[in-house]
Amino acid sequence: MSKAVSLSLLAAGLSSSPVLADWRSDMGVFRVGISAVEGEALRAGTFDEFRKLLAETLNMPVEIFQANDASTLIDAMASSRIEYAILPAAGYATLDIFCSCVLPIAAPIAENGSDAARSVFITDQNRIATLEDVSGRRIAVGPPASLSGFMLPYAFFQASGKSLENSGAIIVETTSQAEAAKLFHDGEVDGFFAWESATLGSEKTYKNEFLNAVDENSDLRPVILWRSEPVRYGPHVVRNNLPKEAVDALSSALLSMNEKAPLAYDAVSPELAGGMQKVSRDDYNVVSKMVRTLAEK
């Protein structure tokens, strides 16, 4: 028997060996986690098209794990009960700090082309013309789960060198940014925190829907006095021990999903309809710093 034939037979034997079984066989089922949005129950079948796309991409069975909230999803990912998750930016940063066990592979883009959001502080110039004027004024903040209405302001806002909680402002807690905006429009608070579209690495600006919502006949003179650094929209992440073959296949499918599988895209990104783009861990440095800062506080 020639040496070449012997090597070929050896390679064939190794490839069928249980020790070198295909990662698909080892995994059995690829599990994908998606959480409810703002407590709204997820309907059965909502993600069927997305599940089918991933099953075809990976050539293996895919199951959807529907979590009640981001915390449950983070726990499932950290404990290896799922291999893939769609997370809010703060959820990804928290998970990355906790276990460094995940890799962000793609994130959505909005229809207007933005790929991030920032917090903005909107005030009535009649009452708060500069940041130095916030002491003693009523400021509305969103619920603790709000990135732009609560987390970014408490982590990064400064007025006269003082943080929000030490600025002397009278903090008015609200259940949503919509409620905060209404209080502002009704004159019950002097300022509030809202969100604004942004693009990382760009000076491009977008219309602010909260600023432009003020009736032109109103006595309010709204102005933005502060903007946070932008935070990339929340990513699709996989466990970082997933085989490169699988990661590459998933990345390719996600980047073309809006064009080739629009129903699957709409299921997982109904409000950010501009498609997907590649992301990396460094794209979430701002939100990681935010999570660490809030944890220290």
Q: What is the pLDDT of residues 230-268, one digit of tens each?
A: 999 999 999 999 999 999 999 999 999 999 999 999 999
- Mean pLDDT value of segment 285-293: 97
Beta strands in the chain (DSSP E): 30-35, 62-67, 84-86, 102-108, 116-124, 138-141, 158-159, 162-163, 170-173, 191-198, 222-227, 231-232, 236-239, 276-277
The one-character DSSP state at 239 is E
> What is d(CA 281, CA 131) in angstroms, rounded to the nearest whole number?
33
Contact 124, 184 (CB under 8 A): yes
Nearest to 131 by CA among 152, 156, 159: 159
Q: Are 101 and 85 in contact (CB under 8 A)?
A: no
pLDDT for residue 288 is more than 50: yes
Q: What are phi and psi of 74, to 5 degrees?
A: -60, -45
33 Cβ contact list (under 8 Å, min separation 6):
64, 65, 67, 73, 76, 77, 82, 84, 85, 86
Does the pLDDT at position 203 exceed 80?
A: yes
For the segment 169-179, the average pLDDT, to the nearest whole number, is: 94
Q: Please give the model's pTM, rounded to 2 decimal places.
A: 0.87
Give the model confidence (pLDDT) of 150-162 as tens digits. Answer: 999 999 999 999 9
pLDDT at 219: 83
Mean pLDDT (whole number) for 68-76: 92
Alpha carbon distance 176, 183 (integer Å)? 11
What is the mean predicted confidence (pLDDT) over 117-126?
Answer: 95
Beta-bridge partner residues of 197: 117
Domain annotation for the chain: domains and CATH numbers: 3-109+233-296 (3.40.190.10), 116-231 (3.40.190.10)
pLDDT at 16 over 80: no
